[in-house]
Amino acid sequence: MPRKPIPTLSDVFTPTETPAHLARDVIESALREAIMDGRIPPETPLRQEEIAALFGVSRMPVREALRRLESQGLLHIQPYKGAVVTALINQDAMDAYGVRLLLEPEALRLSLPHLSDTDLADASARLASLRSARDSATLARLNREFHMALYRRAGNARLLYLIEQELEQEERFLRFHLSAMGTGHQARDDHEALLDAARSGDESRALALLRRHLSQAEQAIRHYLADQDNPESPAGDAPRTAGEPK
Partner DNA sequence: ATACTCTAAATTGGATCCAGGATCCAATTT
Partner DNA sequence: AAATTGGATCCTGGATCCAATTTAGAGTAT
Q: Binding residues for a copy of itself, per CB under 8 A?
A: 15, 17-18, 20, 22, 63-64, 67-68, 70-72, 78-80, 92-93, 95-96, 98-99, 102-103, 106, 156-159, 162, 246
- Inter-residue contact 154 to 107 (CB < 8 Å): yes
What minimum distance in Å lies between the beta carbon of 228 and a copy of itself?
A: 20
- Inter-residue contact 182 to 170 (CB < 8 Å): no
Q: Does 9 bind DNA (CB under 7 A)?
A: no
Which of a copy of itself, DNA, none lies near 200, with the C-beta cut-off 5 to 8 A by kind?
none
DSSP character for 106?
H
- Between CA 190 and CA 198, with CA 195 as vertex, the angle to 5 degrees is 125
DSSP character for 86?
P
Among 80, 95, 113, 237, binds DNA (CB under 7 A): 80
Among 32, 61, 104, 168, binds DNA (CB under 7 A): 61
Q: 163 or 178, CB closer to a copy of itself?
A: 163
DSSP character for 73?
T
Residue 199 amino acid letter: R
Which of DNA, a copy of itself, none lies near 58, with the C-beta cut-off 5 to 8 A by kind?
DNA
Bridge-based pairing of strands 45-46 and 75-78 is unpaired
DSSP 179-225: HHH--HHHHHHHHHHHHHHHHTT-HHHHHHHHHHHHHHHHHHHHHHH
By CB under 7 A, the count of residues binding DNA is: 23
Q: Does 76 bind DNA (CB under 7 A)?
A: no
Distance (Å, rounded) from C-alpha 133 to C-alpha 126?
Answer: 10
What minimum distance in Å lies between the beta carbon of 160 and a copy of itself?
A: 9
Binding region for DNA (CB under 7 A) out of 79-87, 136-144, 155-163, 215-223? 79-87
Among 58, 116, 118, 200, binds DNA (CB under 7 A): 58
Which has the closest alpha carbon to 24: 70, 46, 55, 1? Answer: 55
Among 46, 108, 115, 174, binds DNA (CB under 7 A): 46
Q: 24 or 109, CB closer to DNA?
A: 24
Q: Could you give the angle at which helices 157-181 and 136-151 cross, rounded to 10 degrees?
A: 150
Residue 64 amino acid letter: E
What minimum distance in Å lies between the beta carbon of 30 and a copy of itself?
A: 17
What minimum distance in Å lies between the beta carbon of 220 and DNA?
A: 36
Distance (Å, rounded) from C-alpha 178 to C-alpha 38?
Answer: 13
Which of DNA, a copy of itself, none lies near 112, with the C-beta cut-off 5 to 8 A by kind?
none
What residue ranges bind DNA (CB under 7 A)?
A: 20, 22-24, 45-49, 52, 57-61, 63-64, 77, 79-83
